[in-house]
Structure 1
Amino acid sequence: MKIIVNAVPHEVTSRIMSVALSELGFTSNAMATALNGRFIPNMARETTALTEGDKLEILAPMQGG
């Protein structure tokens, strides 16, 4: 299934957000997610369904100075 992640098209096999995030390499809980412009809390990722063409935004903290 094709979704847009941070403005870049990606193919994922899972329709569950938490699994798709792992598939894309986002494994930290220390990130913010929004699906189609709506904030998705960490605890809701396990039950949030993805569909073809969804727009997922991921903000993760960066280290360094």
Structure 2
Amino acid sequence: MNILVNDETHVVTAGTLASLVAELGFSEARIATAIDGEFVPKATRGQHALAEGMRVEIVAPMQGG
């Protein structure tokens, strides 16, 4: 299915947000996720089913000064 991840189209096989994170290689990374603009905590990523055309944001925290 086609999912928009960080404004780029990806063809994925993942059915949940948790499996998408793993499929894209972010399993071990400290990241924040959102689906269609709504924050999704790590603990509930496995419960969020993906559908064609969803907008997913995956961001990593940045340190600055």
Both proteins in one fold, TM over 0.5 = yes
Change in 2 beyond 3 A, CA 1:17/1:58: same
Partner in structure 2 of residue 32 of structure 1: 32
Three-state SS of the structure 2 residue aligned to 1:33 is strand
Aligned-residue CA RMSD in angstroms?
1.9
Specify every segment of 5 or more residues in structure 2 that has no aligned partner in the other structure, as ranges: none
Give the count of matched residue pairs.
65
1:23-62 to 2 correspondence within 5 Å?
A: 23-28=23-28, 30-62=30-62
TM superposition shift of 1:34 = 0.5
TM superposition shift of 1:62 = 5.0
Q: Residue type matched to 2:19 in 1? A: V
Partner in structure 2 of residue 19 of structure 1: 19
Moved over 6 A (4+): none
Specify every segment of 5 or more residues in structure 1 that has no aligned partner in the other structure, as ranges: none
Scaled by the length of structure 2, the TM-score of the pair is 0.87
Higher helix share: 2
- Whole-angstrom distance in 2 between the partners of 1:42 and 1:52: 21
